[in-house]
Amino acid sequence: MPLSTQSQTEGDNYVLVASLDNVRNLSNILKAITFKDHAIFNATPNGLKVTVEDSKCLQANAFIQAEIFQEFTIKEDSVGFQVNLTVLLDCPTIFGGSTVPGVATALRMCYNGYGYPLTLFLEEGGVVTVCKVNTQEPEEPIDFEFCSTNVTNKVILQSESLKEAFSELDMTSEVLQITMSPSQPYFRLSTFGNSGNAHYDYPKDSDMMELFQCTKTQTRYKMSLLKPSTKALALSCKVSVRTDSRGFLSLQYLVRNDDGQICFVEYYCCPDEEVEEE
Amino acid sequence: MKFRAKIIDVGCLNHFTRVVNTISKLTKTCILRLTPNNLYFVLSGKVASGGVGMWCELSQANFFDEYQLEGVAPDANEICLEVTPENLSRALRTSQNAKCVKIKLTKKHCPCLTLVAELPTLSSVSRVVTHDIPVDVIPRRLWHDFKEPRMPDFDVSIYLPPLKTMKNVVDRMKNLSNFLVMEANLNGEMNLKIETDLVSVTTHFKDLGNPPWGDDGSQGRSRSRDPEVMAHTRVDIRKLQQFLMGQQVNPSKAMCNIVHKRIIHLILLHEDVSLQYFIPAVA
């Protein structure tokens, strides 16, 4: 079956077409949320949202606005599908994934609609690779009902400061405890592992702290759920940490891609146990 | 049976080392045929090597300054040995800066290829390093297994894309599937394809060019062929990956003959070395 890469007739049937001169502007941010095999893609005229969930307690979302793409055409208000993200991410590096400056793999991503595979056309140096990844019916992402009116604590930090802490987190601790308070220790990350307890303190007047609005709370989250967020933290330059009256955690990461454009990744996590607000 | 040879040129020594390194990456053991004019590294394409065949031919005059051979008999002036190329590779690695490297067939506790390297030192006295590489002598009655393979009656012959690009693509495809389909046509187009339940990936190479084989019998099948139609063969991806991993030097010519659904025949030509590699089809 002859396979034309920019077929006119096939082009008419696409409900979603998104193009990038540099596929890394998509693949890098998706790698930051690949802790489970399956991802829910949702495209709207605003751009692309990719969601990965774990055991109904953790949700990661990556947002890539339409403006990031060199071309972003969508024929419906909302286009959704589910794919195996691990398999999908094997494709952008098909030419070796080198980071030689000036050499980039270009991407044209096309979707014909329900029942069709997601087709990636990848091109580098005149060679074209066509990947067709099977799609499934998208599950409905959980709505964590996190809204700004219920936010009880908000902290915005430069990622640098958290990166060290997250890379050193004691993985023998089952939980990560986050303490926020208008008085000392202000913002503290704690672990309780085999070798003892560890605390990372971030004073509110530190250079790294851009915003500090806290009431007093102390909540614990399962370490296994939060550990994957380290990937998003590593890519980001800024992070906002918010908790609401239920103890739900929202981490929002500001990520700059290869071209300096801004994308967002957010993580929502349920608390491990309710702790009374003092 | 007698064999003595000497390399004194450092360029020849490096070149010979690179060839042996390539062979050692392709196979654990192989046959080394020594004839008055050439050396051959051979895999016979039997089940033992996974059906893969290899024929690497070196013109001895381009490597050795001295070369003396006395074969098993006057009418069979050649020697056939089974060797482990990695052992030869290792020995050559320690001889990198040698003033002179001698290779000879000896009998220690078993037949050996003995490599003697004279290494330069600050004083006038050289340091000598000797390696005894055990080999098996292949008796004459088995020689018919290691003859030069016939050029298969191929359906399509095509120049290969840059080996580095092929290697990158095949490496990634190996993550997704154990089998790969290689297809090509007489319009200079080649595709590498894998397909699983989850994903299908096809890499398209264009404008590769097709070698102009002469009007001999081997082009018989392809002479009247529709240039658009692809000949394809499905192979174990690891065998193709192994072939691509071993290539250290860019060849002056690299091409591939495909016998539809039967075999992939890869040919690399360097100035004084030719390498042919046969990968059989899998169902």
3-state SS of B249-272 is CCCCEEEEEEECCCEEEEEEECCC
Q: What mean pLDDT comes out for the span B260-278?
A: 91
In a domain? residue B35: yes
| Residue % of chain B over a pLDDT of 90 | 73
Partner B contacted by A89 (CB < 8 A): no
Q: Is the model's pLDDT at A7 over the cut of 80?
A: no
Same-domain status, B51 and B186: no
Looking at the 3D structure of chain B, how many domains does it have? 2
Taking alpha carbons only, the member of B38, B26, B117, B183 closest to residue A1 is: B183
Same-domain status, B123 and B189: no
Classify the complex by whether its ipTM is higher than 0.90, answering yes or no: no
The answer to whether B281 and B234 are in contact (CB under 8 A) is yes
In a domain? residue B266: no
- In this prediction, residue A278 has a pLDDT band, given cuts at 50, 70 and 90, of very low
Provide the mean pLDDT of chain A.
89
Q: What mean pLDDT comes out for the span B57-79?
A: 92
Query: What is d(CA A118, CA A224) in angstroms, rounded to the nearest whole number?
Result: 31
Q: Is the model's pLDDT at B236 over the cut of 80?
A: yes
pLDDT of residue B152: 82
Residues of chain B with C-beta less than 8 angstroms from the C-beta of A91:
199, 201
Q: What mean pLDDT comes out for the span A74-92?
A: 94
Instruction: Tell whether pTM > 0.90.
Output: no
Q: What mean pLDDT comes out for the span B93-112?
A: 92
DSSP string, B138-156: PPGGGGGGGSPPPPP--SE
| Residue type for position A79 | V
Same-domain status, B92 and B219: no
Q: Which of B122, B145, B168 is the last residue of a domain?
A: B145
Of the candidates B169, B175, B191, the beta carbon closest to that of A95 is on: B169
Of the candidates A93, A95, A134, the beta carbon closest to that of B199 is on: A134
- In this prediction, residue B226 has a pLDDT band, given cuts at 50, 70 and 90, of confident
**Count of A-B CB contacts under 8 Å:** 63
Q: Give how far B254 is from chain A: nearest CA, Å.
A: 18
H/E run at residue A210: strand A209-214
The answer to whether A202 and A166 are in contact (CB under 8 A) is no
**Tens-digit pLDDT profile for residues A18-28:** 999 999 999 99
- In this prediction, residue B153 has a pLDDT band, given cuts at 50, 70 and 90, of confident
pLDDT of residue A15: 95
Q: CA torsion angle for B242, B248, B253, B258 (degrees, to 10)?
A: 0
| Residue type for position B28 | K
Hey, what are B229's tokens?
Answer: 């139609």
**Tens-digit pLDDT profile for residues A26-74:** 999 999 999 999 999 999 999 999 999 998 899 999 999 999 999 999 9
In a domain? residue B273: no
> For residue A117, what is the DSSP state?
P
Same-domain status, B7 and B105: yes
Q: Which of B111, B145, B179 is the last residue of a domain?
A: B145
* Beta-carbon separation of A87 and B199 below 8 A: yes
Among A108-117, A130-139, A164-173, A247-256, name the one with the lowest average pLDDT.
Answer: A164-173
Q: What mean pLDDT comes out for the span B36-58?
A: 86
Same-domain status, B139 and B176: no
Provide the mean pLDDT of chain B.
90
> For residue A134, what is the DSSP state?
-
The answer to whether A43 and A77 are in contact (CB under 8 A) is no
Residues of chain B with C-beta less than 8 angstroms from the C-beta of A92:
none
Same-domain status, B120 and B181: no
Q: Is the model's pLDDT at B262 over the cut of 70?
A: yes
Hey, what are A42's tokens?
Answer: 């949702």
Q: Is the model's pLDDT at B238 over the cut of 50?
A: yes
Same-domain status, B171 and B112: no
| Residue % of chain A over a pLDDT of 90 | 72
Q: Is the model's pLDDT at B214 over the cut of 60?
A: no
Same-domain status, B56 and B171: no
* Beta-carbon separation of A127 and B176 below 8 A: no
Same-domain status, B125 and B178: no
Hey, what are B78's tokens?
Answer: 């050649």
pLDDT of residue A6: 45
In a domain? residue B180: yes
Query: What is d(CA B15, CA B233) in angstroms, rounded to the nearest whole number?
Result: 33
Same-domain status, B86 and B172: no
Query: What is d(CA A41, CA B270) in angstroms, rounded to the nearest whole number?
Result: 50
Q: What mean pLDDT comes out for the span B97-118?
A: 93
pLDDT of residue B259: 93
Domains of chain A: 16-136 (3.70.10.10), 151-269 (3.70.10.10)
In a domain? residue B181: yes
Q: B237-245 and B10-26 are packed helices; what angle lies between their axes, rounded to 10 degrees?
A: 170
pLDDT of residue B279: 94
Residues of chain B with C-beta less than 8 angstroms from the C-beta of A132:
199-201
In a domain? residue B262: no
* Full domain range(s) for residue B215: 156-254
The radius of gyration of chain B from alpha carbons, rounded to an integer in Å, stands at 21
Q: Is the model's pLDDT at A11 over the cut of 70?
A: no
Q: Is the model's pLDDT at B55 over the cut of 70?
A: yes
In a domain? residue B265: no
pLDDT of residue A276: 46
Residues 6+ apart with CB under 8 A from A129: A91, A94, A95, A121, A122, A123, B169, B201, B202, B203, B204
- In this prediction, residue A262 has a pLDDT band, given cuts at 50, 70 and 90, of very high
Same-domain status, B140 and B173: no
Partner B contacted by A125 (CB < 8 A): yes
pLDDT of residue A233: 94
Q: Is the model's pLDDT at B155 over the cut of 80?
A: yes
In a domain? residue B272: no
Q: Regarding predicted confidence, which is higher, B51 or A273?
A: B51
Same-domain status, B32 and B162: no
Of the candidates B197, B200, B204, the beta carbon closest to that of A127 is on: B204
pLDDT of residue B217: 44
**Helix segments in chain B, DSSP class H:** 10-26, 85-93, 163-176, 220-223, 237-245
Q: Is the model's pLDDT at A99 over the cut of 70?
A: no
* Beta-carbon separation of A134 and B168 below 8 A: no
Q: Which of B145, B174, B197 is the last residue of a domain?
A: B145
Strand-pair category, B263-269 with B179-184: unpaired
Q: Regarding predicted confidence, which is higher, B224 or B98?
A: B98
Residues of chain B with C-beta less than 8 angstroms from the C-beta of A90:
172, 175-176, 199
**Tens-digit pLDDT profile for residues B178-205:** 999 999 999 999 999 999 999 999 999 9
What is the phi/psi pair of residue A167, to 5°?
Answer: -75, -20
Q: Give how far B231 is from chain A: nearest CA, Å.
A: 13
Q: What mean pLDDT comes out for the span A244-252?
A: 93
Q: Is the model's pLDDT at B102 over the cut of 90?
A: yes
* Beta-carbon separation of A94 and B169 below 8 A: yes
Q: Is the model's pLDDT at B231 over the cut of 90?
A: yes
CATH number at B249 reads 3.70.10.10
Q: Is the model's pLDDT at B221 over the cut of 60?
A: no
**Tens-digit pLDDT profile for residues A190-238:** 999 998 999 999 998 888 899 999 988 899 999 999 989 999 999 999 9
Q: What mean pLDDT comes out for the span A234-247?
A: 93
Q: Regarding predicted confidence, which is higher, B217 or B142?
A: B142
Q: Which residues pair with A86 in a beta bridge?
A: none
Chain B residues at the A interface, defined by Cβ less than 8 Å, are 161, 164-165, 168-169, 171-173, 175-176, 191, 197-206
* Beta-carbon separation of B198 and A125 below 8 A: no
